[in-house]
Amino acid sequence: MDFLFYFGDVFTPFNFGLLILGTVFGLIFGATPGLSPTMTVALAIPFTFKLEPAAGLILLGALYTSTVAGGAVSAILLRIPGAPANIATTLDGNAMAKKGEGAKALQLSFLASLVGGLFGVFLLITLTKPLSEWALIFGPSELFWLAILGVTIIGSLDSKSLVKGLLSGCIGMWLATIGFDDMLGAQRFVFHPALGGGINIIAALIGLFAIPQVIAMFAGGRIDSAAEVIKVQKHKVTDAVKELWNRKRAAGIGTIVGSIIGLIPGVGGQIAGLVAYDQAKKFSSEKDKFGTGHSEGVIAAEAANNAMVGPSLVPLLTLSIPGSPTAAVLLGGLLIHGIFPGPDLFINHADVAWTFINSMLIGQILMCVFGIFVAGLAAKVAQVPKHVMAAIVLALAVFGSYSVQSSMSDVYVMATLGVMMYFLERFGFSAAPLVLGLILGPIAEENFAIGSMIANASDGLAPYFLTGRLNLILIAMVIASIVYSGWMEVRSRRYTSKEEIMQ
């Protein structure tokens, strides 16, 4: 019940103002196609430099929560999912809007997001403390394997190609070694003066997530991209609450599926929404109505993608292993304030951790309240043409990466990594494992170095890293994630024609 002591910190005028600001802007940015939650949070990090750690995290947490929910606005009214997490919402949400039930679809999506989101954050509250206490038994070898697991699990599950996913993770881990070695002070891979101080995480995150989007928008050319917004009629919120109560099974399925998927590192909101939609359809007595504008489809999908938000932060806050790209960006937000998540977080920075978690709980309620009223404005902003959005994001990326250390080197690194990522993505490489490699690389290296010293003073390297129950479990999980992903890839290839493979 520790979290109850820190509720007051959320309601200070400044923190609560930030929470509202983050929620409103998150809803608007979430509704804008092309601005994913990860990119929004990455671009917002420079705005938290001057804030206290808890205040900065409140802003980032509010943006994360509400961008995921805000994506439903464009999914319903424009038939363009604001984020991959809202793909399933498009299926029935847009059909409802076309039938003149747009307002009802929006209200149901925000109410379902509230139900799922609250449950997700409760799960975060209940699991975080005991798991962080359990994590204290982790030594350097276990933490090394945990970091490797974080990269392999995202590399294998987040990418369409297992080899390219793992290779992206390796590239990220190599990039993390550029600069000075912490132990001996030796320079490593410094092939340009701009890399003398290593690669700054925040600049890299901004580049890797924002610049490929900018170039993709350029690749769209001179096309009138402003989609038509479906007009909505008024609908009573109380009727939407009644509808949600009548469809509680779909909300329950979405919430449970989203929470479970959120706990698995590497599996994002897109999967949560689609799996929940599929399961809700299977258990529904009105299966035939799915896809034609059925409220259960919207409820299940939105409950799931917001239920995923809280649990996706459990591995980050307990083991310092970000389970998703957005969690990795949040880790960047923590690190710039000198806060290192993990077992010690709830001992050394309990106030920051619990204030952040509590703000996410309150943020869910604000997201629902503001969502219902801001949806119209968000839909208008979502119509911002792509070329304007590209120019805005480019400028924000430049200013944001510069403001990290007031260094042009960070801007150059940001741009180079971003351009490189765009081209790599065109050939099946993925940004998520690369980012995870970049963030977890130093954790893996530090624990590898400490572990090596302990091993050299005792049994040797192999027995230290390859024996012990926890080590073996983690190694088994690394292998299992790779084998499972490889098996899935081979299975899907069976259904791919020879012509497609040969291109």
Partner 1 sequence: MSEISLPRIQHIAASGVVAAVGVWVTYVSFTQQPAQAFLFPRLIATVFVILALWTFIKACLGWSKVGSGLSARDCKRLVVGLIIACIYIFWMAKGLGFYTATAIAFFVLLSIYDPAPHTALKSWVKRIAITACFIAVMYGLFAKLLTVYTPREIFF
Q: Per CB under 8 A, which of residues 155..194 are in contact with partner 1?
A: 159-161, 163-164, 166-167, 170-171, 173-174, 177, 181, 183-184, 186, 188-189
What is the DSSP secondary-structure string of 277-299?
HHHHHHH-TTGGGTTSS-HHHHH
Q: Which is nearer to partner 1, 217 or 251 (CB)?
A: 217
273 token code pair: 């929404």
392 to 451, contacts with partner 1 by CB under 8 A? 392, 394-395, 398-399, 402-403, 406, 408, 411-412, 415, 419, 423-429, 441, 444-445, 448-449
Residue 226 CB, shortest distance to partner 1, in Å, is 9
Q: Which is nearer to partner 1, 28 or 398 (CB)?
A: 398
Residue 426 CB, shortest distance to partner 1, in Å, is 5
Residue 41 CB, shortest distance to partner 1, in Å, is 17
Residue 417 CB, shortest distance to partner 1, in Å, is 12
CA 298 from chain center: how many Å? 21
35 to 94, contacts with partner 1 by CB under 8 A? 46-47, 49-50
Residue 94 CB, shortest distance to partner 1, in Å, is 24
φ, ψ dihedrals at 89, nearest 5°: -65, -35
C-alpha–C-alpha distance, residues 308 and 85, integer Å: 10
Q: Which is nearer to partner 1, 137 or 228 (CB)?
A: 228
Q: Of residues 12, 279, 383, 452, which one binds partner 1 by CB under 8 A?
A: 452
End-to-end CA distance of the chain, in Å? 58
Site track for partner 1 across 255-294, x = CB under 8 A: ----------------------------------------
Taking Cα atoms as reference points, which of 64, 432, 83, 61 lies closest to residue 267?
432
DSSP state of 158: S
297 to 356, contacts with partner 1 by CB under 8 A? none
Q: Which is nearer to partner 1, 293 or 441 (CB)?
A: 441
Taking Cα atoms as reference points, which of 329, 313, 349 lies closest to residue 439?
329
Q: Of residues 7, 122, 218, 484, which one binds partner 1 by CB under 8 A?
A: 218
Please tell me the number of Cα atoms within 13 Å of 164 on its side-chain side. Answer: 14
Residue 237 CB, shortest distance to partner 1, in Å, is 33
Stretch that binds partner 1, among 60-68, 219-227, 321-329, 342-350 (CB under 8 A): 219-227
Place of tokens 């038939």: 79
Residue 413 CB, shortest distance to partner 1, in Å, is 11
Q: Which is nearer to partner 1, 369 or 450 (CB)?
A: 450
Place of tokens 């697991």: 149
Site track for partner 1 across 356-395, x = CB under 8 A: -----------------------------xxxx-xxx-xx
Q: Which is nearer to partner 1, 8 or 486 (CB)?
A: 486
Q: Which is nearer to partner 1, 75 or 211 (CB)?
A: 211
Residue 250 CB, shortest distance to partner 1, in Å, is 34
Taking Cα atoms as reference points, which of 160, 152, 163, 270 lies closest to residue 496?
160
Angle among Cα 413, 418, 419 to the nearest 5 degrees reads 105
Angle among Cα 211, 213, 217 to the nearest 5 degrees reads 115
Q: Which is nearer to partner 1, 188 or 236 (CB)?
A: 188
Q: Which is nearer to partner 1, 306 or 471 (CB)?
A: 471
C-alpha–C-alpha distance, residues 237 and 241, integer Å: 6
- How many residues comprise the chain? 503
φ, ψ dihedrals at 179, nearest 5°: 115, -150
Judge residue 435's burial from the number of C-beta atoms within 10 Å of its C-beta, 0-12 exposed, 13-18 middle, 19 or more buried: buried
Residue 195 CB, shortest distance to partner 1, in Å, is 13
C-alpha–C-alpha distance, residues 324 and 181, integer Å: 27
Site track for partner 1 across 480-499, x = CB under 8 A: -------------x--x---
Size of the site for partner 1 (CB under 8 A): 71
Place of tokens 């690194």: 413
Angle among Cα 476, 480, 484 to the nearest 5 degrees reads 175
Q: Which is nearer to partner 1, 219 or 466 (CB)?
A: 219
Q: 179: part of which helix (H) or strand (E)?
A: strand 179-180
58 token code pair: 């409140």
Q: Which is nearer to partner 1, 219 or 473 (CB)?
A: 219
112 to 151, contacts with partner 1 by CB under 8 A? none
Residue 149 CB, shortest distance to partner 1, in Å, is 14
Residue 219 CB, shortest distance to partner 1, in Å, is 4
Residue 453 is which amino acid?
A: M
Q: Of residues 224, 234, 238, 458, which one binds partner 1 by CB under 8 A?
A: 224
CB-based contacts of 467, cutoff 8 Å, min separation 6 = none
Residue 354 CB, shortest distance to partner 1, in Å, is 27
Q: Which is nearer to partner 1, 177 or 279 (CB)?
A: 177
CB-based contacts of 289, cutoff 8 Å, min separation 6 = 296
Cα four-point dihedral sign 135, 140, 141, 145: positive
Q: Which is nearer to partner 1, 32 or 403 (CB)?
A: 403
What is the DSSP secondary-structure string of 21-73?
HHHHHHHHHHHSTT--HHHHHHHHGGGGTTS-HHHHHHHHHHHHHHHHHHHHH
Residue 487 CB, shortest distance to partner 1, in Å, is 16
